[in-house]
Amino acid sequence: MRRKPIVAIDGPAASGKSTTARLVARRLGYIWVDTGAMYRALALKALWEGIGSENHERLKEMVGRTDVRLKERGGDLRVFLDGEDVTEAIRSPEVTHAVSWVCTFPFVRQAMVKLQREMACDGGVVMEGRDIGTVVVPDAEVKVFLDADVKERARRRWRELRERGVDVSLDEVEQDLTERDRKDTEREHAPLCRAPDALVVDTTSLSVEEQVDRIVGMVKVYMANRKKQIAKRKSQNLLKPCV
Ligand code: CDP
């Protein structure tokens, strides 16, 4: 049994996963893993190398010689691509467009899922993405499916982009989100879907603090129940030393 649980947060684009996962991790003292950032880093490198969606072989070869790492720096998560900090570069609209096809290849997913499992195995991790509770760590102790109305998600992403100086209309952002959701849910490998045992948290009318409180609350309930279960097993003499 892991000492600390794994918290898996899945959900569609701009449902608030990153903000929530970062704050939940901070409150619990856990590690935050943004798996979308890892796929984005690979997409950035594919763009740098001029690899298109039809170049499977070149993409495969590229993935084999690419090092993607997430590191915590000053309470923030930095993304490193072959040792270079690409945290800001992976948020460009070009990367957002390219990641939609880069992440569909099974060899890309296998390579990233391997790294993600290594990061999660000791527990004490808040991992967010599209397939965390279904494929990456189906045995995660706490599973959340974060959702929100598409119009609200579009408004949030639009505000975010405007703050970064990206000139785009609200309609374009909504169309882009709808298209990405469609691709993410319809793709063959590891599509976006809710794990049967994930709790849906609809953030449409929740504040960030409320959604963070809700998930931290779920982790606390899990920990309290686990303590009870361990005490019960002890009282029934069911906990035997592993020899
Ligand atoms: O933040 P945003 O919702 O825009 O997306 P992201 O979490 O940065 O992920 C970027 C893209 O990577 C998504 O549109 C998914 O297609 C893909 N992704 C994935 O396939 N599997 C994951 N575990 C995480 C992201």
For the domain covering 6-238, report its CATH number. Answer: 3.40.50.300
What's the pLDDT tens digit per position in 167-183? 999 999 999 999 999 99
| Higher pLDDT pick, 210 / 233 | 210
pTM: 0.92
C-alpha of 183 from chain center: 17
CB 145 near ligand 1, within 6 Å: no
Mean pLDDT of 147-157: 95
Nearby residues of 52 by Cβ (< 8 Å), 6 or more positions away: none
Say which amino acid occupies 138: P
14 C-beta closer than 6 A to ligand 1: yes
Residue matched to tokens 């189906």: 138
The phi, psi pair for 6, rounded to 5°, reads -100, 130
Q: What is the pLDDT of residue 228?
A: 85
Tokens of 30: 């856990």
pLDDT class of 243 with cuts at 50, 70, 90? very low
Ligand 1 atom 3 nearest Cα: 13
Q: Is the pLDDT of residue 32 over 60?
A: yes
Compute, in angstroms, the gap from residue 191 CA to the centroid of ligand 1.
11
Q: Compute the distance from residue 99 Cα to the ligand 1 centre, in Å.
A: 7
pLDDT tens digits, 59-86: 999 999 999 999 988 778 999 999 999 9
Q: Is 36 exposed, middle or buried (0-12, 13-18, 19+ CB in 10 A)?
A: middle
Which ligand 1 atom sits closest to the C-alpha of 14? 3
Contacts of 56 (CB under 8 A, 6+ apart): 105
Does the structure show a pLDDT above 60 at 126?
yes
DSSP state of 30: P
